[in-house]
Chain A
């Protein structure tokens, strides 16, 4: 190829710190990115992909040492760059789109000011024309009412608009290269699809895109080439089709196998036939309003009915704001419905006095999305689980033995007992959260996005564990997720929620094979095609 690459890297090493504690984050990485192409760096957390991307901006950090055989950025030798040279490159030749716009844009400044800053930093637009340029940029990334939005702050915008504003600030000075670091991870499926479309559009207009992701479905939708990273090393790279269809490295195969929906649906104990016994949980006509601004009332849940039996797993699907979490809190007895009832084991649960409810609370346990924030950071594992045991009346002398048995049950070794949450990996942490939830011997688990913060391979392990526990303990599970592939893998039935209402419900295969409601169809369409293809195939075979 005679065309000059935008990024040309050979033998790049990134090391953090010095001496015995030095971390060798990137080892001998090589990559080339051309205009109008998208190269995806794929790997799990800690694989070094972000460190690699940051070093291409000269932003690896003050403790990092970056060395390379060749490091050419925008046709210039970046190995000789000083701080001033890097500043000239950043924003003007390489833009950065980070993961979560809510924190990646300054929350104290209007988005228009943030975008203007990019424009003025390189004097690409005179100050007097900056306001018009901002409106032009917001229009280009598909933000409606750009004049008004420019004056708003990030917290006033929806997730999708925020991410668009962040993209606008990254492309403001017209960089030829865009580094997108997990650009859609914080977004709902449908919003994610629209942001991916925007990135694809920028690519077609000639921007070179370096996409960093752990989500192979996103990669497939966007990338022309893939480089798979593991422990700082690029283990495999090549055209996207080739790498995904014919992976040559074991690790790539492992990653692909772990994508939710890529496995055949596991055989399950048959869910109990309806009418066989009393439902464990029944929610009837649940309604919840919240006070909005200026005396307005926002309806979070607008009349929802469902039942849940022992051994059954019910998926609750919908975008953020659809009322999933409020419904889950009603089930947990944390929010009182304005109308309707929740019965637990045939007895009143919602509205019952807390004194009467406390003894029954052990029946329902929660597995949170992010155990790191749900654990006291100063408490070791033994105390985290010990507290749950104490609350259910296990005498002090028996707690250690109980804790060890619980850890075994979730596949953890007892030597983790003294670790604090920060010293655990994401998967270990979620297993501890599951062990804590199991400590009071519950009959109903509420899982709120339990795997969405995890890497795919860990996700697969945690899902397998949840399935095994459900079968062994005949637990009823309310499984909240925005990831349809995950829901399909673990759930028997599914409820699709939109604007506080259930728009569709039924057995998981039926809903996925033939969605009746247009909203369900749009959610399914938003799933990037590989996951969709895989998850639909077995359903069709059954027909």
Chain B
């Protein structure tokens, strides 16, 4: 298969994923009880029959469902999601304004979580058993702690007690540290479990005996040979986590009173601001597709058997 065709297949499947996510979002939002007009004008506002009808017409809510759906797909395809009911701004503008703080946070967590996972794995996979046991308990606690509580604990210790870091967003780097850690820790804990399992498995492989028989020092055997093998399953998981980061920011941004996509999402869902919710769904579908494409590229970097040039030829 040529490279052009490979990319084309990839793009078509990416478009399918975004379409499927947008369709699901559209259908689910139809199931929410209540009149969207009240979401637009606010539930307390008194509106006359005529005003009510005018708003329905203005937002196309009087059209049959299929026409609304096709119009929605048309807007999606051109990147315009319509206006937010609440903010009276185009959805694209709302999301674009809030994108950067969230990107900072998500990018930080994406870099920090694998880094932590590798460091902890390296530190606890030596010959001695006890660091592994301690780490396994800590990982379990971190994974099972709700992240809002984790965030509050970190705030209590480092901001209120020690006063090292700011409580809320100040715009500089210091205010990014605690939210990033809160977002990254649970991910790092799961990645560590997978990575260590993979490392211990790889150390049982025959090529490790060969490497040791060459007279390599133990760290070289572990980190030059075995760790790379352990990275493959962890990579799959890391790609998935990157896709879910947008969901994670909902909680973290609210706990740390940061602006960002997560905060906008929570508000939009609460206010039934349908165009914004649909915009966020489409955005997160795109992030997922991009993350999994990136993981596929990284696979080929780690494993030569998956590369085009050096790959395994089908028998």
Q: Are B302 and A153 closer than 8 Å at their CB atoms?
A: no
Please, how many residues of chain B have a CB less than 8 angstroms from a CB on the other chain?
28
B132 at the interface (CB under 8 A from A): no
Contact of A293 among B212, B224, B228, B313 (CB under 8 A): B313
Cβ contacts under 8 Å, A94 to chain B: 213
With contact pairs A156-B310, A169-B214 given, residues A103 and B305 touching in the complex (Cβ less than 8 Å): no
Q: Are A104 and B206 closer than 8 Å at their CB atoms?
A: yes
List residues 93-120 of chain A with CB under 8 A from any CB of chain B: 94-96, 98-100, 103-110, 117-118
A347 at the interface (CB under 8 A from B): no
B127 at the interface (CB under 8 A from A): yes
Cβ contacts under 8 Å, A173 to chain B: 214-215
Give the docked Cα–Cα distance between A292 and B1 (Å): 11
Please, how many residues of chain A have a CB less than 8 angstroms from a CB on the other chain?
43
**Interface centre among B212, B225, B310, B312, by most A CB within 10 Å?**
B212
B217 at the interface (CB under 8 A from A): yes
Give the docked Cα–Cα distance between A152 and B214 (Å): 20
* Chain A, Cβ-Cβ closest to B127: A62
Cβ contacts under 8 Å, A89 to chain B: 215
Give the docked Cα–Cα distance between A494 and B108 (Å): 67
A234 at the interface (CB under 8 A from B): no
Give the docked Cα–Cα distance between A172 and B314 (Å): 33
Contact of B210 among A62, A153, A169, A293 (CB under 8 A): A169
Cβ contacts under 8 Å, B210 to chain A: 96, 98, 104-106, 166, 169-170
Q: Are A121 and B216 closer than 8 Å at their CB atoms?
A: yes
With contact pairs A106-B225, A108-B304, A155-B312 given, residues A91 and B207 touching in the complex (Cβ less than 8 Å): no
Give the docked Cα–Cα distance between A106 and B230 (Å): 13
Cβ contacts under 8 Å, B229 to chain A: 108
Q: Are B213 and A90 closer than 8 Å at their CB atoms?
A: yes
A59 at the interface (CB under 8 A from B): yes
A291 at the interface (CB under 8 A from B): yes
Contact with B along A131-163 (1 / 0, CB 8 A): 000000000000000000000110110000000
A429 at the interface (CB under 8 A from B): no
B35 at the interface (CB under 8 A from A): no
* Chain B, Cβ-Cβ closest to A93: B215
A194 at the interface (CB under 8 A from B): no
A405 at the interface (CB under 8 A from B): no
A122 at the interface (CB under 8 A from B): yes
Give the docked Cα–Cα distance between A57 and B215 (Å): 10
B211 to chain A, nearest CB (A): 7
Which 7 A-B pairs rank lowest in CB-CB distance, beginning with the nearest?
A91-B215, A96-B213, A90-B215, A91-B214, A293-B313, A118-B214, A106-B207
Give the docked Cα–Cα distance between A82 and B229 (Å): 29
Which chain A residues have a beta carbon within 8 Å of chain B's beta carbons? Answer: 54, 57, 59, 62, 83, 87-92, 94-96, 98-100, 103-110, 117-118, 121-122, 152-153, 155-156, 166, 169-170, 172-173, 290-293, 298
Which chain B residues have a beta carbon within 8 Å of chain A's beta carbons? Answer: 127, 205-207, 209-218, 220, 224-225, 228-229, 302-305, 310, 312-315
Give the docked Cα–Cα distance between A156 and B218 (Å): 28
Give the docked Cα–Cα distance between A494 and B220 (Å): 51
Give the docked Cα–Cα distance between A62 and B129 (Å): 12
Q: Are B213 and A170 closer than 8 Å at their CB atoms?
A: yes
Q: Are B213 and A152 closer than 8 Å at their CB atoms?
A: no
Cβ contacts under 8 Å, B206 to chain A: 98-100, 103-104
Contact of B207 among A59, A90, A105, A298 (CB under 8 A): A105
Give the docked Cα–Cα distance between A62 and B127 (Å): 8
A61 to chain B, nearest CB (A): 10
Q: Are B215 and A87 closer than 8 Å at their CB atoms?
A: yes
* Chain A, Cβ-Cβ closest to B304: A153
* Chain B, Cβ-Cβ closest to A110: B304
Cβ contacts under 8 Å, A170 to chain B: 210, 213-214
Q: Are A291 and B212 closer than 8 Å at their CB atoms?
A: no
With contact pairs A91-B214, A118-B214, A173-B215 given, residues A152 and B310 touching in the complex (Cβ less than 8 Å): yes
Cβ contacts under 8 Å, B211 to chain A: 106, 117
A369 to chain B, nearest CB (A): 16
Cβ contacts under 8 Å, B312 to chain A: 155
16 contacts between A and B (CB under 8 A): A54-B209, A89-B215, A90-B212, A90-B213, A94-B213, A99-B206, A105-B207, A106-B210, A107-B207, A107-B304, A117-B211, A121-B216, A122-B215, A170-B213, A173-B215, A290-B315
Cβ contacts under 8 Å, B313 to chain A: 292-293
Cβ contacts under 8 Å, B314 to chain A: 290-293
B218 to chain A, nearest CB (A): 8
With contact pairs A153-B304, A292-B313, A293-B313 given, residues A121 and B214 touching in the complex (Cβ less than 8 Å): yes
Cβ contacts under 8 Å, B218 to chain A: 83
Cβ contacts under 8 Å, A54 to chain B: 209
* Chain A, Cβ-Cβ closest to B307: A153
Give the docked Cα–Cα distance between A96 and B210 (Å): 7
Give the docked Cα–Cα distance between A57 and B212 (Å): 9
* Chain A, Cβ-Cβ closest to B312: A155
Cβ contacts under 8 Å, A117 to chain B: 211, 214, 216, 224
| A-B contacts besides A98-B206, A108-B303, A110-B304, 16 pairs, CB < 8 Å | A62-B127, A87-B216, A87-B217, A88-B215, A91-B214, A96-B209, A100-B206, A108-B229, A117-B214, A121-B220, A153-B310, A155-B312, A170-B213, A170-B214, A290-B314, A292-B313
Cβ contacts under 8 Å, A156 to chain B: 310
Q: Are B207 and A103 closer than 8 Å at their CB atoms?
A: yes
Q: Are B214 and A57 closer than 8 Å at their CB atoms?
A: no
Give the docked Cα–Cα distance between A206 and B127 (Å): 37
Cβ contacts under 8 Å, A108 to chain B: 228-229, 302-304
Give the docked Cα–Cα distance between A155 and B304 (Å): 9
B284 to chain A, nearest CB (A): 33
Q: Are B209 and A59 closer than 8 Å at their CB atoms?
A: yes
Cβ contacts under 8 Å, B224 to chain A: 117
Cβ contacts under 8 Å, B315 to chain A: 290, 298
* Chain A, Cβ-Cβ closest to B315: A290
Cβ contacts under 8 Å, B220 to chain A: 121
* Chain A, Cβ-Cβ closest to B217: A87
* Chain B, Cβ-Cβ closest to A290: B315
Give the docked Cα–Cα distance between A172 and B215 (Å): 12
Cβ contacts under 8 Å, A172 to chain B: 214
With contact pairs A59-B209, A98-B209, A100-B206 given, residues A107 and B305 touching in the complex (Cβ less than 8 Å): yes
Cβ contacts under 8 Å, A87 to chain B: 215-217
Q: Are A103 and B213 closer than 8 Å at their CB atoms?
A: no
Cβ contacts under 8 Å, B214 to chain A: 90-91, 95, 117-118, 121, 169-170, 172-173
B282 to chain A, nearest CB (A): 37
Q: Are A104 and B310 closer than 8 Å at their CB atoms?
A: no
Give the docked Cα–Cα distance between A59 and B212 (Å): 8
Give the docked Cα–Cα distance between A210 and B153 (Å): 62
Cβ contacts under 8 Å, A95 to chain B: 213-214
Give the docked Cα–Cα distance between A92 and B214 (Å): 7
Q: Are B207 and A104 closer than 8 Å at their CB atoms?
A: yes
B309 to chain A, nearest CB (A): 10
A297 to chain B, nearest CB (A): 12
B315 to chain A, nearest CB (A): 6
Cβ contacts under 8 Å, B228 to chain A: 108
* Chain A, Cβ-Cβ closest to B302: A108
Cβ contacts under 8 Å, A155 to chain B: 305, 312
Give the docked Cα–Cα distance between A87 and B219 (Å): 12
**Interface centre among B207, B218, B228, B302, by most A CB within 10 Å?**
B207
* Chain A, Cβ-Cβ closest to B305: A155
B32 to chain A, nearest CB (A): 46
